[in-house]
Structure 1
């Protein structure tokens, strides 16, 4: 099969199309003929040498795929209601940038009715992450207000839609007025251009001084102290990335007096059982929203890998996808097609 490997840590141009053996599924796994692969910020971190591959995972980047089941553990397939030839999307610990990929059956979901593989490949990583953190870890409730930093990112557009569909209010931050407008079009109640406005003061104004109940943060660093000032009493801050740095200085007195929760998580190293539980919750509570059109896949751009005979060498589609990701101009997801 053709696959994309990281020849050495560095710029997008280190991504190369190579020949690799087709992986073989073991007990509890299936083999997917990949039609599309989602591109995510952790892929960029892995490419630059800042996100080590978990033990046992493929060195090939890519955390989400969509395609057709080629083979797999018959008992596991039957247990989860799948059959050879079914179209699925899956969260994987690696190996997604390839023509074939193995995935734990428990981490697979059917491609939602009416959706293409291209659209479905944009779902798993962000939907698993948002559900696990916003709805499981900090238990956002109907009627509460969620603040999402990076509202135009793949995580952001997913959080906006799920929170609104499940009865919450949503405030987001984004880096320009165009991105703010896109977030409002997706359902956000308010969007703050953080480069033009102090988001702490704007959140206080929008909430009449009460603050928000939950914050989903991908920045960390100096944002943690500012986020704490945005929280209402009994508010919850969940950190899922540290793009602004790992060190923060906070007013612990505010945490005590206002009964605040500061937590965080990373999904990639968690067990198959943990991710399988998220998949079951998504299938029950979120997939009906996708099939009803109340929540949608937001694909900013699809890029062909150009994995054709004689193409071994520079992976043009992947190189372009990572350069686009690093430009931060996109709204929603970037997807590779095979």
Structure 2
């Protein structure tokens, strides 16, 4: 009799009611792949985009969603990892070209498994992989951030925005973060943000109060609608990194660089993979969390049975941090 697992399946794009909790066969890892028994996973906007049908032909259905997962190695035909070893995984086609983390088990390519050691609870650990990878990659690869610089985080109360602020403060940067909701100000100051800017669409004038010449670096997490204003908030030779699309708009139509980008401001982008998060960086962050030197901004923890509620909260935009689903 085939062993089964519980998994959340999206048969076709649409409303939250299209997410179905079903019993599926436990997947077998092919050569070069690893099976992970999932303990927790975080929710991500890209999964919302997939559920709403914005992923286009990149996704086939039915599909188990989830671009990240945290748990323990359950089977590794290559012998690279030990059964029971703690591991995180993300990206690489998870939840899009092959079944992802919204399940009790997932199989992923060997090169996107990141081992770690931690006594933190699974809900906290489950919040970290994609959030840390995206924030770390944006600051290092995208912005080449340096101690003493100023950083503007556009979309500051998103999980990646909060993680970026935390990493930037650890690096010794001055952090300005935005939110559209004044009620979320305290959520940002608690993680060390120096200046909270209320986003009314014109953040640049506010940012230049604290950085008169413009900020050294800016992380754009909202998307195409706010990018021009974020560019205007940045100094000559400063860098803006386009990473997120909280607005669900990521295309700049009729892009004319000379008219769009302020003279001397540099625009780049970041879209990373698991290989952009070195194991030692992950372990260092986990150790800092364990000693209280780095917070993990978790908003709400759900179970698989309440995945529709979790997606509804993510879609509402009312979360103040990462949404996590515990599986065990």
TM-score (norm 2): 0.87
Partner of 1:21: 25
d(CA) in 2 for partners of 1:43, 1:68: 23
The within-5 A match list for 1:41-60 is 41-52=45-56, 54=58, 59-60=63-64
Query: Aligned partners of 1:113 and 1:284: how far apart in 2?
Result: 8
Distance 1:8 1:57 in 2: 6
- SS for the counterpart of 1:139 is coil
Task: After TM superposition, list the pairs within 5 Å mapping 1:162-181 onto structure 2.
Answer: 162-181=167-186
Residue of 196, 202, 222 corresponding to 1:198: 202
Does residue 298 (structure 1) correspond to residue 302 (structure 2)? The answer is: no
SS at 2:241 equivalent:
strand
How far residue 154 of structure 1 moved from its aligned partner, in angstroms, is: 0.8
Distance 1:256 1:205, change over 3 A: closer
CA distance in 2, matches of 1:114, 1:232: 43
Work out whether 1:226 is the aligned partner of 2:229.
yes
Q: 2:242 aligns with which of 239, 249, 252?
A: 239
Specify which of 106, 121, 124 is matched with residue 119 of structure 1: 124
Gaps of 5+ in 1: 78-82, 307-316
Tell me if structure 2 keeps the 8 A contact 1:66–1:118: no
Contact 2:138/2:270 (8 A) holds in 1: yes
Describe the SS at the equivalent of 1:75: coil
Q: How far off is 1:53 after superposition?
A: 7.1
How many Å apart are 1:182 and its aligned residue?
Answer: 0.7
Contact 2:11 2:63 in 1 (8 A): no
Q: In the aligned structure 2, how far is the partner of 1:204 from the partner of 1:97?
A: 42
Name 1:311's counterpart in structure 2. Answer: none
1:150 CA displacement: 1.4
Are 1:156 and 2:161 counterparts? Answer: yes
Instruction: Tell me if the contact between 2:118 and 2:286 (Cα under 8 Å) persists in the aligned partners.
Output: no
Q: Distance in 2 between matches of 1:42 and 1:254?
A: 26
- Relative to 1, partners in 2 of residues 1:298 and 1:111: Cα closer, same or farther, differing over 3 Å? farther
Equivalent residue number for residue 69 of structure 2: 65
1-side partners of 2:297 and 2:104: how far apart? 23
Distance 1:21 1:115, change over 3 A: same
Measure, in 1, the Cα distance between the counterparts of 2:57 and 2:193. 35
After superposition, the C-alpha distances for 1:257-292 in whole angstroms (9 at most, x for unaligned) are 42x21111333xx5xxxx324233523653443343
TM-score under structure 1 length normalisation: 0.85
CA spacing shift, 1:103–1:295, aligned 2, 3 Å: farther
Give the Å deviation of 1:250. Answer: 6.8
Tell me the equivalent position of 2:271: 266
Counterpart position of 1:75 = 79
Aligned residue in 2 for 1:80 = none
Per-residue deviation, 1:178: 2.0
Q: Is the 8 A contact 1:61 1:96 kept in 2?
A: yes
Distance 2:141 2:194 in 1: 23
Q: Who is 1:318 aligned against?
A: 307
Q: How does 1:28-47 map to 2 (within 5 A)?
A: 28-47=32-51
Instruction: Return 5+ residue gaps in structure 2 as ranges.
Output: none
The answer for the alignment partner of 2:112 in structure 1 is: 107
| Deviation by residue 1:184-205 (Cα, 9 ceiling, x = unmatched) | 111100111113x831111011
Aligned alpha-carbon RMSD (Å): 2.4
